[in-house]
C-alpha cells in the first residue's frame, strides 16, 4: 500500500515516524508493507531523509494512481474538504485527524466514501491516541448509548490540573502551558471549549446515528474558573474538569461543553495533566471508560496509523455511520436535569435550602462571605427560575458530575 501524507506538522511527521519505526510489525498486521510515497506541505524540508517525496502541489498526490490512501493531518475545513473529495473520487481512502473537517462535513465525506468504495476513517479526530471512534461504533454497537462524558482537551486539563495541584491562577497556568508547548500562542480554541465542542459533536453523532451540528452546542470554556472555585471544589473533595457532555434519549441529544465539578470517587476525577478520558454509558455495558494521551505527536499518530492499517486490510466501503436528518436531533434543553455546585453569599444559605435539595456544603477562607452548596439535579428551566429568586446572592453555578 502506497500512501501520501498531507500536512507535515506535529501529527503528520509523527505518522511518518511511526510507519518507519514500526514498519515490520505494521506490514505483518496490514498484510503488506505500507510506504509513504508523497508528502504535501508548503514548507521546505531539505534535510528530511526522503526530501524528494515532498511536494507543494496536491495534484501530484491526487493524480498518482499508485497512491491508494491519503493521510490528512492539516486541520481546518478547507482546503481539507476539497482535498478529501478529490482524493476519494480518485479511489483513494482518506484517513484524517481533522476534527473540524469531521464535525463540519462528516456525513458528506462518509457518503462519498461509500459511493467510491473507499474508507473514510477518523479515529485520531477525537481523544488523540485513545481508541474511541471504533470502540464506540463497533464494540458498543449492541448498546443504546445514553450518556457520554469526555475530558477531550489536553490543554485545558493541564491548566486545570496546575490550578489544583499548584494553586496557580488561570493566567499563570495558561502561561506555563504555553511555555511547555501544550497551549498555542492563541489558546482560544482550547480554553474557550471550541475544540471540545467539535469532539463531543462527533461522539454524539456516532452515538445517535444522526449528525449533531457542533455550532448549536452550548459551549463554555474554562476562562471563568477562578481560585475560589478551586478552593470550594477542593473542600468538597472534588476537582474541576472541562467536560464535553451529551445524553441521548429516544434519539434526541442534549449536549453541552462546560466545566464540571468532579467528585473524588468519579472515574474522571483522577484524569490529570494532558491525559484525556471518555466515559460512555450504554444500556447493556453500563459504564465504561477509555483513557490515554489525548494529543501529542506519537499518540495521535498511533490512531492515524491504526486507521491506515484498517483501510489496508480491507474494511472499505463502510456504510455511513451517521447522516444528516431533517428532524431536529437536539432535545429540549429546558427539561434536561443536572446536578450543580453553586456559590452563594453566606446570607443565602436558608434560601438555598428552601429552594433546592442540597447534597453538601463547603466554605473556604478564600471567600469568607460565601458558601458553596452541591445540589441535586434540577431541570434547566427550574434552575433558571430558582436562580432568579436568589438574584445577586447567587454568585456562580458550575455543573456537578
72 binds a copy of itself (CB under 8 A): no
Residues 124-153 that bind a copy of itself (CB under 8 A): 129-131, 134-135, 138-144
With a CB cutoff of 8 Å and minimum separation 6, the contacts of 57 are: 40
Question: Rounded to whole angstroms, what are the CA distances from 140 to 10, 88, 146, 278?
Answer: 31, 28, 12, 14
For 97-172, strand residue ranges (E) read: 120-121, 145-151
Interface mask toward a copy of itself for 209-248; x: CB under 8 A:
x---------------------------------------
Q: Are 164 and 221 in contact (CB under 8 A)?
A: no
Among 304, 341, 398, 400, binds a copy of itself (CB under 8 A): 304
Piece in contact with a copy of itself (CB under 8 A), picked from 47-55, 163-171, 284-292, 385-393: 284-292
CA Rg, the chain, in Å? 23
Q: Return the number of the residue (138 or 332) whose C-beta is nearest a copy of itself.
A: 138
325 binds a copy of itself (CB under 8 A): no
Shortest spacing between CB 159 and a copy of itself, in angstroms:
20
Piece in contact with a copy of itself (CB under 8 A), picked from 35-43, 45-53, 86-94, 280-288: 280-288
Distance CA 208, CA 137 (A): 10
Per the structure block, which three cell numbers stand in for 262?
A: 468532579
Among 9, 21, 165, 376, binds a copy of itself (CB under 8 A): 21
CA-wise closest residue to 239 among 159, 161, 169: 161
Q: Return the number of the residue (319 or 368) whose C-beta is nearest a copy of itself.
A: 319
Distance CA 45, CA 22 (A): 22
**Burial (Cβ within 10 Å: 0-12, 13-18, ≥19) of residue 135:** middle
Question: What residues are annotated to the active site?
Answer: 199
Per the structure block, which three cell numbers stand in for 327?
A: 428532524
Give me the residues that bind a copy of itself (CB under 8 A), please: 14, 18-19, 21-22, 25-26, 28-31, 123, 129-131, 134-135, 138-144, 209, 267, 270, 282-293, 298-299, 301-306, 308-310, 313, 315, 318-319
Amino acid at each position: 500500500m502506497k500512501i501520501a501524507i498531507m500536512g507535515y506538522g506535529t501529527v503528520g511527521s509523527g505518522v511518518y515516524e511511526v510507519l518507519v519505526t514500526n514498519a515490520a510489525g505494521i506490514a505483518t498486521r496490514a498484510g503488506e508493507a505500507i510506504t509513504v510515497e508523497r508528502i504535501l506541505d508548503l514548507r521546505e524540508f531539505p534535510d528530511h531523509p526522503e526530501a524528494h517525496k515532498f511536494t507543494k502541489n496536491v495534484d501530484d498526490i491526487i493524480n498518482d494512481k499508485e497512491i491508494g490512501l491519503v493521510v490528512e493531518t492539516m486541520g481546518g475545513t478547507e482546503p481539507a474538504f476539497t482535498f478529501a473529495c478529490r482524493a476519494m473520487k480518485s479511489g483513494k481512502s482518506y484517513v484524517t485527524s481533522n476534527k473540524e473537517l469531521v464535525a463540519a462535513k462528516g456525513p458528506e465525506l462518509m457518503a462519498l466514501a461509500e459511493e467510491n468504495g473507499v474508507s473514510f476513517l477518523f479515529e485520531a479526530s477525537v481523544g488523540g491516541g485513545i481508541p474511541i471512534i471504533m470502540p464506540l461504533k463497533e464494540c458498543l454497537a449492541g448498546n443504546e448509548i445514553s450518556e457520554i462524558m469526555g475530558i477531550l482537551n489536553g490543554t485545558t486539563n493541564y491548566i486545570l490540573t496546575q490550578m489544583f495541584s499548584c494553586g496557580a491562577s488561570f493566567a499563570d497556568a495558561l502561561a506555563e502551558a504555553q511555555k511547555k508547548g501544550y497551549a498555542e500562542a492563541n489558546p482560544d480554541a482550547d480554553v474557550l471549549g471550541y475544540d471540545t465542542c467539535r469532539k463531543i459533536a462527533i461522539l454524539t453523532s456516532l452515538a445517535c446515528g444522526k449528525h449533531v451540528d457542533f455550532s448549536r452546542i452550548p459551549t463554555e470554556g474554562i476562562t471563568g474558573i477562578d481560585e475560589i472555585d478551586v478552593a470550594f471544589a477542593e473542600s468538597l473533595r472534588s476537582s474541576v474538569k472541562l467536560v464535553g457532555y451529551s445524553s441521548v434519549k429516544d434519539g434526541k441529544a442534549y449536549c453541552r461543553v462546560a466545566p464540571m465539578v468532579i467528585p473524588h470517587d468519579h472515574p474522571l476525577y483522577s484524569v490529570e495533566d494532558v491525559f484525556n478520558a471518555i466515559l460512555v454509558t450504554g444500556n447493556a455495558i453500563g459504564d465504561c471508560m477509555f483513557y490515554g494521551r489525548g494529543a501529542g505527536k506519537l499518540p495521535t499518530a498511533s490512531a492515524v496509523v491504526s486507521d491506515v492499517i484498517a483501510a489496508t486490510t480491507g474494511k472499505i466501503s463502510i456504510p455511513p455511520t451517521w447522516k444528516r436528518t431533517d428532524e431536529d436531533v437536539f432535545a429540549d434543553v429546558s427539561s434536561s436535569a443536572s446536578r450543580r455546585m453553586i456559590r452563594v453569599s453566606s446570607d443565602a444559605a436558608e434560601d438555598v435550602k428552601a429552594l433546592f435539595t442540597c447534597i453538601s456544603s463547603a466554605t473556604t477562607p478564600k471567600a469568607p462571605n460565601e458558601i458553596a452548596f452541591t445540589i441535586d439535579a434540577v431541570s434547566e428551566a427550574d434552575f433558571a427560575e430558582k436562580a432568579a429568586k436568589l438574584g445577586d446572592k447567587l454568585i456562580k453555578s458550575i455543573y456537578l458530575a
